[in-house]
Structure 1
Amino acid sequence: MSDLSPWPEGVARHVLPRCASTNAEALSHAARHPGPAWIVTHDQYQGRGRRGRDWAMPAGNFAGSLALRPAGDPAQAALYSFVAALAVADAIAAVAGPAARLALKWPNDVLLNGGKVAGILLESAGHGGAVSALAVGIGVNLAATPPADPDAPFAPVSVAAETGITITPEDFLDLLAPAFAAWEGRLLTEGFAPIRRAFLARAARLGETITARTGRVALVGRFDGIDEGGALLLTTPAGRQSVPAADVYF
């Protein structure tokens, strides 16, 4: 494992024995406190994934959320999903070393050796077109895999099973928090462009044919990247399409 970077200045850290949802805790924290805070639990019993799906958490896995009060509108807040994906990949790489095959699946999954090892869920609160609180939820299969979802595009994998390396959620947070702070710093000072380049450098199946399902519609085309707002760029027989939200299948 690589040397630890310092814990980011001004960021609080809370480890809970048990809670329903770290995202819910993060939104509550952000409503009461101005500063950012990581909230991690050893037992999350009502975790959520995209589109309201359940997120199971076997013992020893990482469930955590970063509570933020970002500036800007919902579209700008949504870019934190890419920041989180890059940070999770960096943290896993620090644990697993160069032999681990890591890839980022648009819009919110991290793949390890071809299986899903982590997922990201952003939830926000606000009014009048402004975001007053943002929870950046992250789940990582460190120790064990949850039951496989037959409708999921990838089978779940764990860091322990794929690499033989074990790490506690607290130690993983020590890697994740500095990585997130570094990428967030670039987003705030340089804009989305460097985040977009870094994401595409690790993007799974870039340039290949994929299927993007949006509700009942399935779009099939070549994955040609993401645009300046983070939307999927898909070249289909009908031409280039920008897809802001979808489930992607390879």
Structure 2
Amino acid sequence: MTWPTGVGRHVLDVVDSTMTEAARMAPTLSGPAWILGLRQTAGRGRRGRAWVDPAGNFAATLVMRPADPPERMALRSFVAALALHETFVTVTGRAEPFALKWPNDVLLNGAKVAGILLESSSASTGHLAIGIGVNLVSAPGGNEVEAGALRPVSLLSETGARVTPEEFLDILAPAFARWEAQFATYGFGPIRTAWMARAARLGETVMARAGTQSHEGRFIELDDQGALILVTARGRVAIPAGEVFFG
């Protein structure tokens, strides 16, 4: 794989959090850059949850400054998901075990193998940080995840594929660059179509939780803003942000 032109590559032996490091580095960066932490001491996931990150797993953040409104920047979670899916297929030579779970997880044999976290800055840096965590060699125990959440698994345990974080990054970065170029050129439409072709439980009944409200319905599509569309007993419901649970 050829590293994308104009994109920085920073590999740190130890870091508190690659997302935090991205915020620190953003003011000095002249272009997009990947930050890989071989060990994180204070990794975090969505909604402030801790991200368990044993040695050998993948924890990286892409920091960039897209000249987009916030709603368009948020669509890059789908760009990142497609890049991750492509990377897993490249590493394992198999596509069938992998699926994308709305809004920002990658599944392997129906269990969680990777997660994506987006943070944007409204300060003068105006940066977007896309954090990616992958269970390459080990996964948290069931008691370390939220009640009702999918079981976490590792790439190694499920497929036998062993890849280092640096090797994974060297495949992921070019994949992201290709999907990002498509997004920049053609908009969200092709990204949306590609994501749905890899979506977990499309056409099936799921439970979505948005704030204090829960909706049960058949997952039929994403809309053109990336919202989850369910057909419920009360009709069609669009969920712009939230969590999905499988029965």
TM-score (norm 2): 0.95
For residue 224 of structure 2, what is the amino acid of its counterpart?
E
Q: CA RMSD in A?
A: 1.4
Is 1:13 aligned to residue 9 of structure 2? yes
Deviation at 1:7, TM superposition (A): 0.6
User: Partners of 2:175 and 2:79 in 1: how far apart?
Assistant: 9
1:140 is aligned to 2:130: no
The unaligned stretches of length 5 or more in structure 1 are none
- Which deviates further from its counterpart, 139-148 or 111-120? 139-148
Report the counterpart of residue 249 of structure 1 in structure 2: 245
Counterpart-to-counterpart distance in 2, 1:126 and 1:82: 21
CA 1:182–1:99: 2 relative to 1, 3 Å: closer
Structure 2 counterpart of 1:97, from 85, 93, 96: 93
Deviation at 1:146, TM superposition (A): 1.7
* 2-structure distance, mates of 1:151, 1:247: 12
- Counting only pairs closer than 5 Å after superposition, residues 208-223 of structure 1 correspond to structure 2 as 208-223=204-219
The answer as to 2:233 corresponding to 1:229 is no
TM-score for both structures, normalised by structure 1: 0.94
CA apart distance, 1:118: 0.1
CA contact (8 A) 1:11 1:37 kept: yes
How many angstroms apart in 1 are the aligned matches of 2:11 and 2:38?
8
Query: Which ranges in structure 2 are unaligned for 5 or more consecutive residues?
Result: none
Structure 1 runs (4+) deviating above 6 angstroms are none
Partner of 1:176: 172
Q: Aligned pair count?
A: 244
1:153 positional shift? 2.3
- 8 Å contact 1:74–1:131 — kept in the other structure? no
* Partner amino acid, structure 2, of 1:52: G
1:150-229 matches, cutoff 5 A: 150-229=146-225
8 Å Cα contact 2:26/2:125 also seen in 1: no
Identity of aligned residues (%): 55
- Structure 1 position 231, deviation (Å): 0.6
Q: Tell me whether 1:107 sits opposite 2:100 in the alignment.
A: no
Q: 1:30: how far off?
A: 2.1
The SS at the match of 1:132 is: coil
**Shift in Å, 1:161:** 0.3
TM-fit CA distance, 1:221: 0.6
Q: Which secondary structure does the structure 1 equivalent of 2:3 belong to?
A: coil
CA separation in 1, counterparts of 2:148 and 2:60? 22
